[in-house]
Structure 1
Amino acid sequence: MKPTTIIKTTIAVLFLQQTYSQETKKETAQPKYTIEKCVNHFELDKATKTKVGYQYWFADKDFTLENTLKMSIVEPGKSTHAPHKHIEEELFYILEGTAEFYLDGKTIAVGPNTSLYCPSNVEHGIKNAGNTDLKYLVIKKDLR
């Protein structure tokens, strides 16, 4: 085979592989949405136990295209993890209890019906600062 024929054949194969890969991703990335799958009522027996309480995924990245919605319940005096940062923006909404919110070196205590925004790549954390369970929602956009 001539070098130009090999190059043309290689380009054609790469193009077909990329096209097939994109079509496969499209097919697998789009779950079948039904009203039954799109309505999610909290059920404690379907929650995941953690070291500090439990969490319940209302919507995870395997179902939605890029957003997640999780409810976390944290025991008094505990946190799910140490302050950290990541590329995704994150939004907390306090449902019950008292949260100590850490953002970029500062902390504040807040109660129910308060939202807390964590910008991309900014160190943040949340812990239970009260003597009852802390219950909050976590909304995150998956940027991967």
Structure 2
Amino acid sequence: MKPTTLIKVLILILTAQKSIAQDLKTATALTGSKYTIENCVNQFELEKATKTKVGYQYWFADKNFTLENTLKMSIVEPGKSTHAPHHHIEEEFFYILEGSASFFLDGKTVVVGPNTSLYCPSNVEHGISNAGQTELKYLVIKKDRKEK
């Protein structure tokens, strides 16, 4: 292997090790001081939900509590959606708990019911709306990623 190639490989390895070490340090610091059995168990309470224009949402965990992961429940009134189709860097999962959802992904639409998961790849246009006559209740799960 050429000396310049070897140096580049070593730099990449050292950079990766530094990043991993920082992530472990952050996780250890958070685990040691932030997480308890009391704040790691979160039972839905309507009084603590946030009202939206189309229903309400409840954050079970946001990226400030976890290491960039989020878990939110959205409840949407019949015929409404939380927002227009959009895209973002983060991958996203929806899990339908109750009701009927119209799921838009990359130009196509399908209607699904409870116990169905929906995956939204990074940077692909997607959206979800209530296609039924009752409330649509679903979980939104994603990991916050920074633009590269």
Counterpart check, 1:143 vs 2:145: yes
Amino acid at match of 1:38: C
* Alignment counterpart, residue 82 of structure 1, candidates 62, 81, 84: 84
Amino acid at match of 2:102: E
How far the C-alpha of 1:134 sits from its partner, in A, is: 0.2
1:93-142 deviations in Å (ceiling 9; x for gaps) = 00000000000000000000000000000000000000000000000111
1:65-90 deviations in Å (ceiling 9; x for gaps) = 02100000000000000000000000
- Structure 1 alignment gaps of length 5 or more: 1-21
How far the C-alpha of 1:26 sits from its partner, in A, is: 4.1
Q: Comparing 113-122 with 30-39, which one deviates more in the overlay?
A: 30-39
Cα distance in 2 for partners of 1:76, 1:121 equals 27
Indicate the residue corresponding to 1:48 in structure 2. Answer: 50
Amino acid at match of 1:130: G
* Alignment counterpart, residue 104 of structure 1, candidates 100, 103, 106: 106
Q: TM-score, normalised by structure 2?
A: 0.78
Amino acid at match of 1:103: L
- Structure 2 alignment gaps of length 5 or more: 1-21
Poorly superposed stretches of 4+, deviation over 3 Å: none
* Alignment counterpart, residue 73 of structure 2, candidates 64, 71, 74: 71
How far the C-alpha of 1:143 sits from its partner, in A, is: 1.0
CA RMSD between the two structures:
1.6
3-state SS of paired residue (2:44) = coil
**Structure number, greater radius of gyration:** 1
Indicate the residue corresponding to 1:133 in structure 2. Answer: 135
Q: TM-score, normalised by structure 1?
A: 0.80
Cα distance in 2 for partners of 1:39, 1:26 equals 21
Cα distance in 1 for partners of 2:64, 2:38 equals 16
